[in-house]
Amino acid sequence: MEALYLILAGGFGAFVKDLVKDNKLVLPKYEDDSIVLGFLGGVIIGAAVGYVVDQNPTTAFFAGYAGYQVLESLVPKKTRR
């Protein structure tokens, strides 16, 4: 049950980050023969990071909030679009 709280807290942190960043949510869509996850991609990443980071829901929330930026910083800028 505790793992579920951590996943939800991380996912909610990513959800809040998307709202704060753009003041809107990008819905999932099918575009150019590929699926764009929109805000759901961030929620999935946030949930995974929230579960892995620590056994505290508050830390999981903030890890979910910052999880996508951490992944972006690991990818070299030349390989980004």
Whether 67 is covered by a domain: the verdict is yes
Domain for residue 33, yes or no? no
Domain range for residue 60?
1-7+38-75
Q: For residue 54, is it within any domain?
A: yes
Residue 42 is assigned to a structural domain of this protein: yes
Domain total for the chain?
1
- This prediction has a pTM of 0.79
Burial class, 50, CB count within 10 angstroms (exposed 0-12 / middle 13-18 / buried 19+): buried
Q: Which two tokens stand for residue 53?
A: 């980071």
Residue-by-residue pLDDT tens, the chain, 81 positions: 889 999 999 999 999 998 998 889 889 999 889 998 988 988 998 899 889 887 899 999 998 998 877 777 777 776 555
Beta bridge partners of 36: 29
With respect to residue 15, please indicate whether it lies within any of the assigned structural domains: no
| Chain centre distance of CA 41 | 6
